[in-house]
Structure 1
């Protein structure tokens, strides 16, 4: 028997034009755990810690994390507000379609493709970082000397494992993501406690908070500090996973947006503790920067707790990164499933199919893994490919994150229909700040990180990202503008009318601050039947205001 929340979720989904096809089994906590696992502070902060040390040093690592987390929370607030109104697995591109009026199809197209590029790149960045760390740990324990192609083979094997889990063990995903939360939080506590107890010669607080390091070749400390923010900003990606899991989450209009915000907030606190633990454990900076292990984190652990202790601590990172990669494949596949459901991808009729027994978009899962696997070839060609992949993931994802917000504050400023979670009178200000920040980092992370710039060390992000943007725009101009109309309903009119009139939507409202009067949708945002359904369940003054 369905609960009230499940009945309301199904009706709201039908009002938005979709049938309930995926199993709605995730709770609020498991929804949060997916985004928290994809953010994975033990993945992003560990993978790029050495890059951060060379590009700004301890001061930029610590204060950069604080600044980036604050600005990220503004982006997350704007996303959460929209997610509460439109809790669908299509997520970002569905939001853009609804909020951009007559230009909805175009903005939905750009948003969807940028999100897809970002999701693929972030999956690649996560599993590639895991592959490099795994090779480093094996080398530390056995003396094995690995080469770049070895890392790529391990990377491909990890993608196959994660795709297999998402295909044949989907019932375990919620459990794995719950375990992941405790591995991340518990792992940070264990690492902090062990390093605090065992590190013999800790640096002073003054050294940790004021030391600036510039090994980039650039003269400007401001420029170096800014490009050093990549470590933090790459880590703070992937929290849109909560939106992509909306159609599998109970009470999704509340649980999904709260999952987004909790993922960012908890990641900030745990991440700050982790960075402080690492940086206060640096004993020989030159040794860490030029470690024979090829990994700054590994060297810090070795200097603090010896080889055996280092391997044990690194196993915590390996476990956290494994969960992170698995959650990323989950979110990526759901995005592909939703985008292909609206015929936006080549081969859409195959990609949005749900396996009749497994109840999983199997083709979407394996496409996500395959596309991420292709990026591994770049590492064989160029050893500087990994930072470029992380930059692509960061920029593409954040562009897709703020396009819906941009549409809301420009095209739908006075017509946006609020959900149970909203920002009240601060909505436009926070949304504008989020858009400005993303525009800033988009320019920042395509700039070269080293000087003098050569074909080997140049930032290839601009080339790869430009190629992706040109392809997406050309595809739209040549063909897609003729047939892509944005998200397409898979519920027939009669069925929608029946459910909209027969079901009683029950909302759970929590009063924090009285909300201002809510405007109704303007022309072009919904069909008559949707307007009727919304009028019946119109938001009142007692909504949860952030």
Structure 2
């Protein structure tokens, strides 16, 4: 009995020491694979592993917000490429990015670290330039994610302005109004990540539901009430209204919108130290997010291309967003248009919250590796 008691005491003592070492409650430390990965990476676990497959899938799907971004960037694609350029371009982009993120998912399974790309570069680059290339990659990723925050906030803020224009003809669209809305949305996202961070996994799962259900809440009224274009014109009509030297060049320029709608699935990588069983869960969630958003994006894109109505009139819509005009032309109802557009506002706001989470983890990890000034300050976790 004494031997058994002493063994139990030793195990309890080991658990306590492990908890104190990592400064994280035992239930958030992850499984054995997570501990081995952290040890192999030479890192100490300081973040809570409270993300599971569904919540990290929601994280990736809602941050990229593929079908929502497709709607907001319709102008570029309709001007350069037309409906056929949009649809076939999106298919090409999806196939290409599926291959890209398959490679990233493989690296994430080998080294699930919040540092992501700059860590992998340091592993795979030639020894002579590992540090330099890793440093440059770290700065590109850190600043890129910071800029991505305001890009989504800008879309959300100006969509709100577009709704105001639709509902109040006396309103004068001012760019500084949009700037204030961007600041407000960004500030809300920072507030959420600061004081409600523990709720983030639950919120991501809920927003994933809205992301999927919201799509059907929009496309069903469009299919029922909107005028239909012919399949031949939708799938074969290319445009070159941008004045490029060839139709092919114009179509390639129009790819910018569809590329934007499919970029950034590495966001989940930067949450890897908060995912339980990260080396297995993370790559599965990344690839699942790419597939789910590709399917949803294609469904929305085909739907909107069939129900555009007169393209020239929606491109000159006073709202600034053709999709808002399409919603109103299809339903003939301010209330219905407001509700349909509000779905995008909510999901894009959620995307901004997720962007802040991703950008903060990327900056934190890079600071932990002394990649930025005041690294000790930015890498500190209470």
TM over 0.5: yes
Q: Does 2:65 align with 1:40? A: yes
Counterpart contact for 1:53–1:213, Cα < 8 Å: yes
Aligned partner of 2:20 in structure 1 is none
Quick one: distance in 1 between partners of 2:167 and 2:317? 16
Structure-1 separation of matches of 2:29 and 2:338: 49
Aligned to 1:278: 304
Mapped partners of 1:127, 1:3: distance in 2: 32
For 2:140, the equivalent position in structure 1 comes to 114
Query: How many angstroms does 1:4 deviate by?
Result: 9.7
Q: How does 1:473-512 map to 2 (within 5 A)?
A: none
Residues 136 and 3 (structure 1 numbering): CA distance in 2 closer, same or farther, change over 3 Å?
closer
Of 208, 220, 225, the match for 1:193: 220
Query: Scaled by the length of structure 2, what TM-score is found?
Result: 0.90
**CA deviation map 1:23-69 (0-9, x unaligned):** 11100121121111111014321221111111111011111110000
**How many pairs were matched up?**
354
Asked if 1 retains the 8 angstrom alpha-carbon contact of 2:83 and 2:238, the reply is yes
Q: Distance in 1 between matches of 2:315 and 2:29?
A: 56
1:320 to 347, 362, 367: 347
1:108-187 alignment runs, 5 A limit? 108-143=134-169, 144-187=171-214
User: Which structure 1 segments of 5+ residues have no match?
Assistant: 357-546
Instruction: Report the alpha carbon displacement of residue 218 of structure 1 after superposing the two structures with TM.
Output: 1.6
Structure with larger RCO (C-alpha < 8 A, sep 6+): 2
d(CA) in 1 for partners of 2:284 and 2:335?
40
Instruction: Point out where structure 2 has 5 or more consecutive residues left out of the alignment.
Output: 1-25
Select between 261-270 and 93-102 the one with higher mean Cα deviation: 93-102
CA contact (8 A) 1:244 1:334 kept: yes
Name the structure 2 match of 1:7: 32
Equivalent residue for 1:335? 362
Q: Distance in 2 between matches of 1:15 and 1:293?
A: 53
Most deviating of 111-120 and 189-198: 111-120
Matching residue of 2:90: 65
Q: Which residue pairs with 1:505 in the alignment? A: none
CA distance in 2, matches of 1:286, 1:229: 20
For residue 120 of structure 1, report the CA deviation from its aligned partner: 2.1
**Equivalents in 2 of 1:108, 1:269: separation in Å?**
34
Mapped contact 1:43–1:324 kept (Cα < 8 A): no
Q: Say if 1:25 and 1:250, in contact at 8 Å, map to a contact too.
A: yes
Q: What per-residue deviation string (whole Å, max 9, x for no partner) do you get for residues 486-517 of structure 1?
A: xxxxxxxxxxxxxxxxxxxxxxxxxxxxxxxx
Report whether the alignment pairs 1:294 with 2:320: yes
Instruction: Please say if 1:310 is aligned against 2:356.
Output: no
The reply to whether residue 25 of structure 1 matches residue 55 of structure 2 is: no
Correspondent of 2:289 among 232, 254, 263: 263
**SS at 2:31 equivalent:** helix
RMSD: 1.5
Give the drift of 1:300: 0.6
The aligned counterpart of 1:51 is 76
How far 1:175 moved relative to its partner? Answer: 1.7
Q: Report deviation, 1:3.
A: 8.8
Whole-angstrom distance in 2 between the partners of 1:223 and 1:19? 50
What stretches of structure 1 move > 4 A for 4+ residues in a row?
A: 1-5
1:116–1:336 Cα contact (<8 Å) kept: yes
1:10 Cα deviation from its structure 2 partner: 2.1
